[in-house]
Amino acid sequence: MKPTIETLNLFKLASGDEFFLQLYQFIGKKRNKKVYIQSNLHGSEIVGNAVISQLIDFLSTLKKSELEGEIWLLPVCNPLGTNQRNHFFSSGRFNSYDGKDWNRIFWDYEKICHNLDEFVQENLKFDSLTIQENFLQQQKIAFSKQLEKINHPSGAPLFEQYRYQLQSLSMDANYVIDIHSSSNQCIDYLFCFPGEQENSAKYFQIDYGILMDTYDGDAFDEAFMKPWLALEKKFEKVGRKINVDRESWTLELGSGMKMNPQSVTIGVKGIINYLVKKGVLKLEHYSLISNEITLVSRQNIRNYYAPTGGMIQNRLSLKTRVQAGDKLYEILSFNKRGYLPEVIQVCAEKDGFVFDVSTNYSVNQGDYVLALCSINLEHLC
Ligand SMILES: [Zn+2]
């Protein structure tokens, strides 16, 4: 099966140059379900591009009959972010023009959908599938106002035009997968919404997940999922359980500015396994794998910031287990007051393991140094 390749115009620059997105679509026999996968929304988080490239290779080997639904893949989904540099380093987390985080800009229907009670009453008589179709139509009508605004003579700022592109590609999907990594160095993990979705998390073959019991606001995964979760809740309130066939995932595959082969393999295998579980891929002789995943609350992740300026030394490596009071790292701190340099020790506040570490070993006071996940895991020695 060959993908349909579509090139979409994104922006035109002052110089006359233009940015494009390129979408790869695999269409199965039926078009009953849609999967949308994108990568590199944050500019330094390039790992997902390798994952998508390998998924394209894999899907190209399949017969049309092995795909039930359609899979849309959008690698390098943020060309402005991907190309951004500070000296040798890719940054690309924030739009350098307006300072906004590229993953906190998305249009969230849940925030403006004020007639949900009315919608529930009008739709009680329908089955789950029709309810979802009606809700999606309502969401699309509200979203189309965004395009009207963009097309007005007064226009819209760049971030609104950009999010319109990505969300118009993904809004009607059943399953959305947004592939990121740490900006620094990190283990592989995923973000999971509480509820039904927790049962699916174990099919990604990733060992850790953060349960999204609080929201950062306007992230891509949230903007997709929050309206559906609100819908589900409203129906539950009137005693009706509807089966919303929508899931939204952010995969965090390892470190920034890298495509660690192990993280790439985990991403590719996990996504294929998940799509088999969801009935999108019908692969003969495939045995589904599910593994234990430890889901922790966001509150379990504690960032450590440098108490003073200096150079980081003797820092514990990723996954090292610690107990409260154990030394995490030292700061070699210089001064301009006539004293010798000193070494300052920083210790763990709680038991846990090293979850993420900064790439830069030189810190100003208040710079990020590492993150601890405060759970005790026996196998993480
Ligand atoms: Zn990211």
Does the CA dihedral 52-54-57-61 come out positive or negative? negative
Report how far ligand 1's centroid is from the alpha carbon of 319 (Å): 20
Q: How far is it, in rounded angstroms, from Cα 20 to Cα 16?
A: 13
Q: How many CB atoms lie within 10 A of CB 321?
A: 17
Report how far ligand 1's centroid is from the alpha carbon of 81 (Å): 11
Report how far ligand 1's centroid is from the alpha carbon of 183 (Å): 7
Report how far ligand 1's centroid is from the alpha carbon of 88 (Å): 19
Report how far ligand 1's centroid is from the alpha carbon of 310 (Å): 27
Beta-bridge mates of residue 310? 363
240-263 pLDDT tens trace? 999 999 999 999 999 999 999 999
Is this structure's pTM higher than 0.75?
yes
Report how far ligand 1's centroid is from the alpha carbon of 180 (Å): 5
Answer for the pair 123, 63: CB distance below 8 angstroms, yes or no. Answer: no
Report how far ligand 1's centroid is from the alpha carbon of 262 (Å): 18
Report how far ligand 1's centroid is from the alpha carbon of 217 (Å): 14
Q: Is pLDDT at 378 greater than 70 in this prediction?
A: no
Report how far ligand 1's centroid is from the alpha carbon of 241 (Å): 34
Report how far ligand 1's centroid is from the alpha carbon of 30 (Å): 33
Domains present along the chain, CATH in parentheses: 4-292 (3.40.630.10), 301-380 (2.40.50.100)
Report how far ligand 1's centroid is from the alpha carbon of 77 (Å): 12
Report how far ligand 1's centroid is from the alpha carbon of 126 (Å): 39
Query: Which of 116-120, 164-168, 278-282, 374-378 has the weakest average pLDDT?
Result: 374-378
Confidence of residue 216 (pLDDT cuts 50, 70, 90): confident
**Can you give the length of the chain in residues?**
381
Q: What is the per-residue pLDDT for 376? A: 55
Query: Which of 140-144, 215-219, 319-323 has the weakest average pLDDT?
Result: 215-219
Q: What is the per-residue pLDDT for 250? A: 98
Q: At what angle do helices 220-237 and 158-170 cross, to 10 degrees?
A: 60
269-305 pLDDT tens trace? 999 999 999 999 999 999 999 999 999 999 999 999 9
Report how far ligand 1's centroid is from the alpha carbon of 104 (Å): 10
